[in-house]
Amino acid sequence: MPDYSNPKLLVERGSLSEGQVTWRSPSNIALIKYWGKYGRQLPQNPSISLTLDQAYTETTIAYRPKTGTGQDIELAFFFADKPNDAFAAKVKAYLERQVDVFPFLRQLTLTIRSHNSFPHSAGIASSASSMSALALCLCDLERQFFGNLEDDSAFRQKASYLARLGSGSACRSVYPVTAVWGETVEIDGTSNEYAVPVGDQLHEDFRTFHDDILIVSNREKSVSSRAGHQLMDGNPYANPRYQQARQQLHRLWNAMKEGDLATFGQITEQEAMTLHALMMASHPPFILMEPNTLEIIRRVQAWRTDTGQPLYFTLDAGPNIHLLYPHAIADEVQDFTADSLQPFCENDQIIRDQVGQGPSKR
Ligand code: PMV
């Protein structure tokens, strides 16, 4: 278990001038879902995701030495160029929790600017991209001030750990292509504390996979994922679910290494349905799918049966559909989605994305 607290990370008075760091970090879509946690944001089962490309957050931390002697984190936060008090309060609380890891945060006055590539109202969970971008910026500050974390894998591991403390799924966004979070005997070096990259073991078909995000509704969710995770504690299906996730990971991971699209699709869809079934079996139960979610699922399944093409879907904790398919059938799928699925999307909104190369420093 890594212990990143380090009281030595304080900058010498007078040695610090002002500066800034910027990171762009993508969202990710889980195939085996993380749903249920314990302790300090630790997962009840391992999860695996594809890292996206076009759906990202870009965050800049600008800093200058603090003039006063106050111990508070001094922070101004701008989202999409506008001051945002709600986000500022959340980020400040997060940074307060990390002062054991980065004590230098108390010595700075920070201005954080963040924006998403996708419309804020698209109903896409932005916590994975935003928390990973923030964590990468923080690790970069440590690297700048102290010359630590020069080794890229140490840098990413720490960023993944810190992203996890902001939002569990964010820890997987730190890596290109595919990441696994949570201990599993399947893959060496896995941990509940941070994600690990596994993209280099993947069959090439998956490295260029597409994910078209069909925006069924951009309304705020009626139940947050934080509340949803908590409800797993009283869910009678929780333990069988955690066991099932391990078995599914085993089968899915083999399929992803071998390029077995049919098994990939079958497990991925079952995971999406299981996630929503768990919500419906919670106490109190809740439904995040919308009528158009089901309509689109039915149409995808029918198109697959008719054409025999490997088009699959998954869902995250909301009504929107992620359509997953190999690059070889992109033209056909995009014609089908434009004709038959787009009318079921709010404001005709589709975000066409694909597997990406992970975060980048700007
Ligand atoms: O990271 P959180 O707490 O927003 O939870 C994410 C939960 C799912 O998106 C439903 C699944 C996952 O593994 O990303």
Q: Exposed (0-12), middle (13-18) or buried (19+): which is 252, by Cβ within 10 Å?
A: buried
**Residue of 37, 94, 225 best suited for mutating to test ligand 1, as the one with most atoms within 8 Å of CB:** 225
pLDDT band at 123 (very low <50, low <70, confident <90, very high): low
pLDDT in the model for residue 14: 83
Q: How high is the pLDDT of residue 70?
A: 86
Q: Which CATH class is domain 19-202?
A: alpha beta
Sign of the torsion angle spanned by Cα atoms 315, 213, 266, 34: negative
Q: What is the pLDDT of residue 121?
A: 63
With both helix axes pointing from N to C terminus, report the angle between 152-166 and 85-97 in degrees, rounded to the nearest 10: 120
- Give the pLDDT confidence score for residue 219 in this predicted structure: 83
Mean pLDDT of 202-216: 97
* Nearest CA owner, ligand 1 atom 9: 316
The per-residue pLDDT of the chain, averaged, comes to 96
- Helices and strands in the chain, H and E counts: 9, 14
Query: Which among 258, 249, 275 has a CA at the least distance from the CA of 179?
Result: 249
Token pair in block for residue 240: 């069988």
For the beta carbon of residue 14, count every other beta carbon within 10 angstroms.
7
Whether the per-residue pLDDT at 231 is higher than 90: the answer is yes
What CATH number matches the domain at 205-354, 2.40.10.10, 3.20.20.70, 3.30.70.890, 3.40.718.10? 3.30.70.890
CA of 38 relative to ligand 1 center, distance in Å? 14
Give just the sign of the alpha carbon dihedral 47, 53, 55, 57. Answer: positive
Q: Compute the C-alpha angle 342/348/350, nearest 5°.
A: 75
pLDDT tens profile 159-184: 999 999 999 999 999 999 999 999 99
| Residue burial 81-113, b: 16+ Cβ < 10 Å; e: rest | eeebeebbeebbebbeebbebbbbbbbbbbbbb
> Residue 339 carries which DSSP code?
I
What would the pLDDT profile of 60-107 be if each residue is shown by its tens digit?
999 999 988 888 999 999 999 999 999 999 999 999 999 999 999 999
For ligand 1, the distance from its centroid to the CA atom of residue 226, given in whole angstroms, is: 9
Q: Output b/e per residue, 260-270; b: 16+ Cβ within 10 A.
A: bbeebbbbbbe
Q: How confident is the model at residue 125 (pLDDT cuts 50, 70, 90)?
A: low
Tell me: pLDDT of 119 over 80. no
How far apart CA 361 and CA 346 sit, in angstroms, is 33
Specify the pLDDT at position 68: 82
Q: Where exactly are the structural domains of the chain?
A: 19-202, 205-354
β-pairing, 108-116 vs 74-79, is parallel
Separation of CA 34 and ligand 1 centre (Å): 6
Spatial distance between the Cα atoms of 33 and 169, rounded to a whole number of angstroms: 9
Amino acid at 176: P
User: pLDDT of 19-41, one tens digit each?
Assistant: 999 999 999 999 999 999 999 99
26 CB near ligand 1 (under 6 Å): no
Of all atoms in ligand 1, which is nearest to the CA of residue 167? Answer: 1
Answer yes or no: is the C-beta of 181 below 6 A from any ligand 1 atom. Answer: no
- Asked whether the predicted pLDDT for residue 124 surpasses 80, the reply is no
DSSP state of 62: E
Measured CA angle at 50 (ends 176, 259), to 5 deg: 100
Atom of ligand 1 nearest to the CA of 128: 1
**Predicted pLDDT of residue 151:** 97
Confidence of residue 350 (pLDDT cuts 50, 70, 90): very high
Which tokens in the block code for residue 322? 């992620």
Residues 206 and 183: their CA atoms lie apart, in Å, by: 23
Phi, psi angle pair for 207, to nearest 5°: -70, -20
Nearest ligand 1 atom to alpha carbon 29: 14
